[in-house]
Chains A and B, each alone.
Chain A
Amino acid sequence: MENYAIEMLNITKRFPGIVANDDITLQVKYGEIHALLGENGAGKSTLMSVLFGLYKPEEGRILLDGKEVKITSPRKANELGIGMVHQHFMQIKNFTVLENIILGVETTKNGVLQMQEARQKVVELSERYGLKVDPDALVRDITVGQQQRVEILKMLYRDCKILIFDEPTAVLTPQEIEELMGIMRNLKNEGKAIIFITHKLDEIKAVSDKCTVLRLGKCIGTVNTADATTHQMAEMMVGREVNFHVDKAPQKLGEPVLSLKNIYLKSEVADKYVLNNISFDVHSGEILCIAGVEGNGQSEIVKVISGLMQQESGTIILNGKDISNESRRQRIIDGLSYVPEDRHKHGVILDSTLEENLALKKYFLPEYQNKGIINFKSRRELADKLISEFDIRSSEGRETITRSMSGGNQQKAIVAREIDAKHDVLVAIQPTRGLDVGAIEGIHANLVAQRDEGKAVLLVSFDLEEVMGVSDRIIVFYEGEVVANVRPEDVTINELGLYMSGSKKGENLC
């Protein structure tokens, strides 16, 4: 008889039109890091929401230390010692780290806060687990990695024994990921039970002891991580063999389609340029990647190209036409498609239907309206066509409210809409962020197909594997400047790292 910290036995949770969790069993011991692996929409989040008291399962039992418990709310989960580090941090930006940690469980004496005690406990915890963070810094001043440590400290401060990490590495730099792994090992050695949700296989391999794989709401199996290869786990996850390589035909390079000349943009907060004399061309039949550490001007350059931000000076030429001062709508008509960075903010209207979202770039064309009156028939046909062509999965087809779809399928819908719009240039910023292997594969194939059709593709990515795998040419951004212009076959990842950190500067910068 083994002693499990937490057992979720035969959990079944249904939503209208979909069985999100179908008879899933997950057992985790103290001192164990248990990875939960699955594609987007496989049911990982639902299962964790059940454990965290956000959803009530139709069937199944939850045992804590061998005793059955009913978890009815996140508060109850906390009381039972279950804590969750969310993907999006729940923090008050204008409070200090310490204030954030104690929020909700303040120690008081006659109504007066006892900060000294709390501070001591926080300092002790952060030393014990190697969670370096200044308790008096304001949360808005610290890095994302440090904010994540604050979340972890919050859980520890509340004496949680079971910690859930929901895709914790999605927001971190490679260096911070290393540190997080170390922290997780410390927690494990101190006897905590850890559930680690991810779809990055190398992380699972690096840190976890066991791995449970979900696919389409079903439990595929639990393996000892040491005994399984990443390929085997990937296969379990997607149900077929996975192609880690991006297949590309030889390049047929054409004329420049999008040209940027001497773009300058001033920072909104500081007295410096976030884009400092940027010039480059994107040719037809080419995938040009902008590599670099996040925050070196990549989002700004894409916003300038799409017209969401207005450059201070410089020209943008699309198909020989100067679009520097055109409206966003005109740029779209002139042939610019754009997969935005923030899916939920810019990419989709979450509370509209899938059909309405798929029409967002086309509804004003004569085919879809007549004197301002919507042609619903052709709009429906468009939606159905894109849904089947791009395999966008949802519970109610084109009528589905987009909010209820999985992140991967929302992204597929955006990519479908942008590729379907008449265009010569496709700009995509972080199109695979937070997606699983299967969806990433699909999106990479889409990008390559675009290039083979003779479109110009501009891809911004912070993922070096992706940069190396997909691109025909790479430019590196550092502090708002282009510091390298290279071909992937002429450069190593290490060299790229040097460019990205500003310690090396290339030649022939466009």
Chain B
Amino acid sequence: MLKKLLMSKRDYSGVLSSLIAIVIGLLVGFIAMIAVKPSSALAGLRMLVTGGFFNGLTTFGSVFFYATPIILCGMGDAFAFKASIFNIGGPGQMHIGALVAVYVTCRIGLGAPWSTIVGLLCGALAGALWALIPALLNAYKRVNIIITTIMMNYIGMYLAVDLLKKSSIFDSTKNQSINVPRDLRVARLGLDKIFVGSAIDCGFFVALIIAIILWFILEKTTFGYEIKAVGKNRDASDYAGIDARRTIVLSVLISGALIGLGGGFMYLGWAGKYLLGSNTQLSEGFTGIAVTMLANNNPIACVFSGFFLAYLTQSGSYMQAVGFAPEIVKVISSVVVYCSALSRLVSEYLRKRKLDYIAAEKKGDAIR
């Protein structure tokens, strides 16, 4: 079976490695549950798998909502990673993007749906600009982008919170942003009729379209070719006349834009999420890294891995129903996320196996 999959013309090793990592992650989670409370472990596992449907389509619909920002964030990280840039400034770019998106949407006064569309685009732009500073420092001065993006996360968070408090969209009694008017939230296109009572909107499908566009850019265009060339060998790209600095800056800008857009979708949705007046980093910005790791940096695969992680989080919120403390949920999801980092090891192993199969076949030919 493994052999058949590996030897087929299309390369499945990436998908397989991610699936194997997920299974390992779930197994470790199961073992943790056995250790904590053996009698409920099976029920816990069942809840983990079926929890996304706890309240039927209502729960499942909301998975789409929660998946959207982390998918966008994952695709943003993946895009920068193709140019060998490790953009871990997700939380900061997302925070700034979210603030701008909510502010513009609520205050520009173009009415639905234009306020929302312009607001989301401004959010993307803000995320891109927030990523521009580390991008320029890296491209022109070769400053380590991991360090700069981490610092920009804190600066972004403090700045966003401060600006929020000074802005007209701050509700000081609740110490959070105001309610986004219903007509200015992300359009639901009748999806709420199918997933009654859920937080679903069209954001997930926007992310899906963006994933296809990103795949097209990376695989079919000269710009994608340049990004991958710079990512694999910056010196050779420079020598070949590719403007490596420009390519790096552009790829990080696109990365930041996607992450900023993710922030916009998160706070212009129907789940009742508000920008807080307290200094908290947006953890979704980091989840994006796990999404892209599990997806082997493939933008299309990011849609699936993001959906999977969102599903798991959603299931997790019902684990208390089978007698596990809320903390066990965090253990499980972090183990799965941790395992996704292993998927690279697994895919390396699968690649080796494939080479072995090929070698064995060649040997067979030689004997015949």
Q: Is A224 engaged at the interface, CB distance under 8 Å to the other chain?
A: no
A374 touches B243 (CB 8 A): no
- Known contacts A14-B359, A351-B232: A364-B222 contact under CB 8 Å: yes
Q: Is A16 engaged at the interface, CB distance under 8 Å to the other chain?
A: yes
Q: Is B185 engaged at the interface, CB distance under 8 Å to the other chain?
A: no
Cα of A360 to Cα of B228 in the assembled complex, Å:
12
- Known contacts A306-B239, A346-B236, A349-B236: A372-B222 contact under CB 8 Å: yes
What are the interface flags for A319-359 relative to B under an 8 Å C-beta threshold, 1 for contact and 0 otherwise?
A: 00000000111111000001010000111111110001001
B residues 328-368 touching A (CB-CB < 8 Å): 355, 358-359, 362-363, 366
B residues 209-262 touching A (CB-CB < 8 Å): 220-223, 225, 228-229, 232-233, 235-243
B243 touches A360 (CB 8 A): no
Interface size of B by Cβ–Cβ distance < 8 Å?
A: 24
A345 touches B235 (CB 8 A): yes
Q: Is A1 engaged at the interface, CB distance under 8 Å to the other chain?
A: no
A residues 361-379 touching B (CB-CB < 8 Å): 361, 363-364, 369, 372-374
Taking CB atoms, residues of chain A closer than 8 Å to B366 are 19
Taking CB atoms, residues of chain B closer than 8 Å to A340 are 239
Number of A-B contacts (CB under 8 A): 79
A58 touches B239 (CB 8 A): no
Which of A16, A329, A349 touches B241 (beta carbons < 8 Å)? A329
B237 touches A349 (CB 8 A): yes
Cα of A332 to Cα of B240 in the assembled complex, Å:
8
Cα of A331 to Cα of B362 in the assembled complex, Å:
46
Distance between B212 CB and nearest chain A CB, rounded to angstroms = 15
Taking CB atoms, residues of chain B closer than 8 Å to A356 are 225, 229
Q: Is A17 engaged at the interface, CB distance under 8 Å to the other chain?
A: yes
Q: Is A308 engaged at the interface, CB distance under 8 Å to the other chain?
A: yes
Closest A residue, CB atoms, query B224: A374
A327 touches B241 (CB 8 A): yes
- Known contacts A361-B240, A361-B241: A15-B359 contact under CB 8 Å: yes
B220 touches A327 (CB 8 A): no
What are the interface flags for B283-314 relative to A under an 8 Å C-beta threshold, 1 for contact and 0 otherwise?
A: 00000000000000000000000000000000
B232 touches A363 (CB 8 A): no
- Known contacts A352-B228, A360-B229: A369-B222 contact under CB 8 Å: yes
A308 touches B363 (CB 8 A): no
- Known contacts A14-B362, A374-B220: A348-B225 contact under CB 8 Å: no
A373 touches B240 (CB 8 A): no
B→A interface (CB under 8 Å):
220-223, 225, 228-229, 232-233, 235-243, 355, 358-359, 362-363, 366
Those 10 A-B pairs whose CB atoms lie nearest each other, nearest first: A329-B241, A16-B358, A346-B239, A328-B241, A349-B233, A360-B240, A332-B241, A349-B232, A351-B232, A372-B221
22 CB contacts below 8 A, A to B, read A15-B355, A16-B355, A16-B358, A16-B362, A17-B362, A58-B359, A327-B241, A327-B243, A328-B238, A328-B241, A330-B241, A345-B236, A346-B236, A350-B232, A351-B232, A352-B229, A360-B229, A360-B236, A361-B241, A369-B222, A373-B221, A374-B221
Given contacts A348-B233, A352-B229, 9 further A-B contacts (CB under 8 A): A14-B359, A17-B358, A58-B363, A308-B239, A345-B236, A349-B232, A350-B232, A351-B232, A363-B225
